[in-house]
Chains A and B, each alone.
Chain A
Amino acid sequence: MKSVFKELVHAPWSAKFGFCVIILYVAVALLAPHLAPYGETQVVGDGFAAWGAQFPLGTDNLGRDMLSRLLYGARNTVGIAFLTTMLAFLLGGLAGLIAALKGGWVDMGLSRLVDILMAIPQLIFALLILSVVGTTATSLVLVIALLDSTRVFRLARAVAMNVVVQDFVEAARLRGEGTVWLVTREILPNAAAPLIAEFGLRFCFVFLFISALSFLGLGIQPPTADWGSMVRDNAVLITFGDLTPLLPALAVALLTVGVNFVVDWMLYRSSGLKEC
């Protein structure tokens, strides 16, 4: 823990900025009910009210407080994106490590399955499945996690391939170790760095994907506050030169940039790349 802190102190300013952004978002997501002046779905005034003392960022098309919805949106959008990414990594990462370890027909079967899933454009596939099974939060998480796990599978398999051929894995195999030990003790610790970096990157993609789906009306369903659908709901204001509907998009962009700064730094550390 101490060394992590020490590393952070030595990290470049971009990584520190990224960390600050992430911490801010996490804090907002956790404390949303305390920070928000009004309720998430509470109609408190006229539609499209201007910025002012009562409504710092104005109201949306139905007269709900924009700031409150923005704060609650952090909780919903970030929370679901995080859950989805975790699930995708659990699924894809585990399958990838096992495919690399076992090789042969296990690897063949899993890889071809992933190829089939990847052959269909992700957004269209998601739209298709979601319109069939319905857009509840659960189905949203499961569908996106499954689709994203294919990308994680590819990476985990590639990284693990390089670890599996090392002598210490062979030594563990010859000792008679089982799959669980090989995956969790021998391979995973040595494949962790690129996977963690990918986690950050994947999180951004999932995040944007959910926002995109919400914008199209198939993501997180109203009246739940969500940044993607907030842009869509208030899009009409843009034609009047009002920046309010772009605030949720800005929130998305800021987090994406922050996470990417941190990921860059982690990649730099794990690959041993040096700046010249």
Chain B
Amino acid sequence: MNAANPSLLQIRDLHIEGYYDDAWHPLVQGIDLTLARGEVLGLIGESGAGKSTLGLAAMGYTRDGCRITGGSIHFDGLDLRQCSAEALRKLRGLRIAYVAQSAAASFNPAQRLIDQHVETAVINGGMKRSEAEAQAVELYRVLRLPNPESIGQRYPHQVSGGQLQRAMTAMAMACQPDLIIFDEPTTALDVTTQIEVLAAIRDAVKRFGMAAIYITHDLAVVSQMADRIMVLRHGKRVEEAATRQMLQAPTQDYTKSLWAVRCFRTDPKGRPEQGGPLLEVRNASASYSQQPVLHDVSMRLYRGQTLAVIGESGSGKSTTARLITGLLQPSSGQVLFDGEVLPADYRRRSKAQLRSIQMIYQIPDTALNPRQRIVDIIGRPLAFYLGLKGKALRQRVAELLEMIELDPGKFMERLPSELSGGQKQRVCIARALAAEPQVIICDEVTSALDQLVAEGILKLLDRVQRQLGVSYLFITHDVATVRAIADEVVVMQRGKVVDAGARDVIFTPPHRDYTGLLFSSEPEMDPDWLDRILQQRASV
């Protein structure tokens, strides 16, 4: 910090509290933060660490049910805590802008992109509409949106997720703000799309010399974007350093544990010597109301193994799972379990057939009935399939809770809303295990969770597999997850299987075209990775 480049944002000893369970709880506890003009600061930490709360506080804003209890926030000499609501409103959008995680949820679906883009500039910035529109087109071009002249005329649902996220970044830049806060802007995107968005955001930020706070839980992503990284935990600063220094030599144990997440590997389990596949999809094709989504898909899962199905959204991996569970009927092809053809419709499957294939969902919040206690949720398959009652049932639920490393005494009587995301996902696993199945379909089970929590879930699944010999069909878009737990891999693209084989074979170069693209899109923890990969692709 020198005199010629005074700090743009200065937060001193900030305390924020949130109101829940009838009491105020600290969310941010005494954080100092300084940001120079044109500097990009990465905020990283697990969910609940206070990243977003801190990011919003930089705009002088707190969510409903939160209050700032101490400290100061100075933006370019202005004390945001003393500013009137009117002054803050003028500041936001014009000089400080915000890019939210889900662009789809943040755009008004009933207005064209460009109408929303120019709104702040015209109302608050005193710009003429035609001027603002011309500038919007320019920004669309900078952010490399296709057809920058006409894309603004579309409605939010008419562009893809990655494009929408870029349109939102463009909107945030509409008034040339001094500071932009990015709150997990690429978390909801596929890896191949993420690269484009990251590159576009980074170039635009550099080009206009804006300062930015980049909030994420993905270390590899933040190391591409930020000059400096701050690690948060439980609302406190763990450590802060320049990006390269932080990556090479983290000093705190917690930071090191964040770094180590990506190194988890299961030991490969060989195919059983005898017997055919436990679960087989044979030449299945399917369509959603005339629109074909699966073309001649085949895959085999052997007893005690993990088969990972990887692909971007829309590649048909979840559709394959619906086919196996019988929620969707194939137009041709079959699903075989232990050599027998399963009825295509789940309603015509026997109780034993239903029991042997269980499912774990992506979002544990919607997968658990919010009105049932944990003991009822896990107990229901026990009562339904095994006829357990009363004391025996509670005993078994307690065993299952112990297996998933939750204290039965504490958790049995709770409602799902009283659990964290990772704990909920563990309950989902326990519910699947309660049925004593032979196959568990895991549909993106870790993608809604933090990396540390996700790693815990993967380790748990691996341990359970070794104990019980259950087989997993693991659906994911995350390359790191596949590398961690798969025995065999199937790569899908646009409803077709484009690559398949054992993990070591698939991950050893040379890769097939699409597999190579997918793998190289996975961010690495090297600050030069994005430049390198973009250069490589440009030269091809």
Residues of A with Cβ closer than 8 Å to B? 166-168, 170-177, 185-186, 189-190, 274
Residue of A nearest to B322 (CB): A170
Residues of B within 8 A of A174 (CB): 325-327, 346, 354, 359
Question: Taking the nearest CB of chain B, how far is it from the CB of A151, in angstroms?
Answer: 25
Given A175-B435, A176-B354, A186-B369: A167 and B361 interface contact (C-beta under 8 Å)? yes
Cβ of B361 and Cβ of A176 under 8 Å apart? no
CA distance A174 to B384 in the complex (A): 12
Cβ of B369 and Cβ of A190 under 8 Å apart? yes
Residue of A nearest to B370 (CB): A190
CA distance A116 to B228 in the complex (A): 66
Query: In the complex, which of the residues A173, A189, A274 contacts B369, with contact meaning CB atoms closer than 8 Å?
Result: A189
Question: Taking the nearest CB of chain B, how far is it from the CB of A6, in angstroms?
Answer: 9
Question: Taking the nearest CB of chain A, how far is it from the CB of B20, in angstroms?
Answer: 13
Cβ of A168 and Cβ of B369 under 8 Å apart? yes
Query: In the complex, which of the residues B366, B384, B431 contacts A177, with contact meaning CB atoms closer than 8 Å?
Result: B384
Which residues between 286 and 304 of chain B lie within 8 Å of chain A, taking CB atoms?
A: none
B interface residues, tally (CB under 8 Å): 25
Cβ of A176 and Cβ of B327 under 8 Å apart? no
Residues of B within 8 A of A190 (CB): 369-371
Residues of B within 8 A of A171 (CB): 359, 361, 367, 431
7 inter-chain pairs at a CB distance below 8 angstroms, sorted by A residue, are A167-B363, A174-B326, A174-B346, A175-B385, A177-B384, A189-B369, A190-B370
Top 3 nearest A-B pairs by Cβ distance?
A189-B371, A167-B367, A167-B361
Residues of A within 8 A of B435 (CB): 175
Question: Taking the nearest CB of chain A, how far is it from the CB of B321, in angstroms?
Answer: 11
Cβ of A175 and Cβ of B327 under 8 Å apart? no
Residues of B with Cβ closer than 8 Å to A? 64, 325-327, 346, 349, 351, 354-355, 359, 361, 363, 366-372, 380-381, 384-385, 431, 435
Question: Taking the nearest CB of chain A, how far is it from the CB of B347, in angstroms?
Answer: 8
CA distance A152 to B507 in the complex (A): 57
CA distance A133 to B304 in the complex (A): 69
Question: Taking the nearest CB of chain A, how far is it from the CB of B3, in angstroms?
Answer: 43
Most chain B beta carbons < 10 A, residue from A170, A172, A189: A170
Question: Taking the nearest CB of chain B, how far is it from the CB of A83, in angstroms?
Answer: 28
Cβ of A175 and Cβ of B354 under 8 Å apart? yes
CA distance A185 to B385 in the complex (A): 17
CA distance A75 to B72 in the complex (A): 63
Question: Taking the nearest CB of chain B, how far is it from the CB of A127, in angstroms?
Answer: 42
Cβ of B354 and Cβ of A168 under 8 Å apart? no
Given A167-B361, A170-B327: A175 and B381 interface contact (C-beta under 8 Å)? yes
CA distance A12 to B325 in the complex (A): 48
Most chain A beta carbons < 10 A, residue from B355, B363, B371, B435: B371
Residue of B nearest to A10 (CB): B22
CA distance A170 to B351 in the complex (A): 16
Residue of B nearest to A169 (CB): B369
Cβ of B367 and Cβ of A176 under 8 Å apart? no
CA distance A170 to B380 in the complex (A): 14
Residue of A nearest to B349 (CB): A176
Query: In the complex, which of the residues A168, A173, A185, A189 contacts B366, with contact meaning CB atoms closer than 8 Å?
Result: A168
Query: In the complex, which of the residues A172, A189, A274 contacts B64, with contact meaning CB atoms closer than 8 Å?
Result: A274
Cβ of B384 and Cβ of A168 under 8 Å apart? no
Residues of B within 8 A of A176 (CB): 349, 351, 354-355, 384
Query: In the complex, which of the residues B325, B346, B366, B385 contacts A166, with contact meaning CB atoms closer than 8 Å?
Result: B366
Residues of A within 8 A of B354 (CB): 174-176
Given contacts A174-B346, A177-B384, 18 further A-B contacts (CB under 8 A): A166-B366, A166-B367, A167-B363, A167-B367, A168-B367, A168-B369, A170-B327, A171-B431, A172-B380, A174-B325, A174-B354, A175-B381, A175-B435, A176-B384, A189-B371, A189-B372, A190-B369, A274-B64
CA distance A114 to B351 in the complex (A): 36
CA distance A134 to B384 in the complex (A): 50
Residue of A nearest to B351 (CB): A176
